Amino acid sequence: MRKITELSVKKFVNDENFKRGNMEVRHQYDCSLIPTTRMYLHGNCIAIKRYGKISITNAGWFSVTTKERLNGILEYFGKSKIYQKNWNWFLDESEWDGELKEVI
């Protein structure tokens, strides 16, 4: 796992703000005063933590970097990683289109 992924995941899990290179983690309160933490890659939100649940998306980008960042979160929680086969992405042994999905 890349150092930037490791740092980003740590900050995401601990609800801490972080910005370095193409990664950003923002902890804030939504308009209904719900604490929410989001992880961004190149300005695209790829993970959301709210109510103790985590959802991920590839934000339309089927890139190696996006997959690596998302796998960092999944690995931290001991979940199955995203993998690619014949140009298709798979999550939990099922083909995944990258749309927002609750994983934790």
Cβ atoms of residues 58 and 31 within 8 Å: no
Q: List the helix and strand counts (H, then E) for the chain.
A: 2, 9
**pLDDT by residue (tens digit) across 7-38?**
999 999 999 999 999 999 999 998 778 999 99
Enter the tokens of residue 58: 């590839």
- Residue 81 banded pLDDT, cuts 50, 70, 90: very high
Q: Note down the domain range covering 84.
A: 3-102
Cα 58 from Cα 41, distance rounded (Å): 9
pTM of the model: 0.94
Instruction: Please give the tally of structural domains in the chain.
Output: 1
> What was the pLDDT predicted at 31?
78
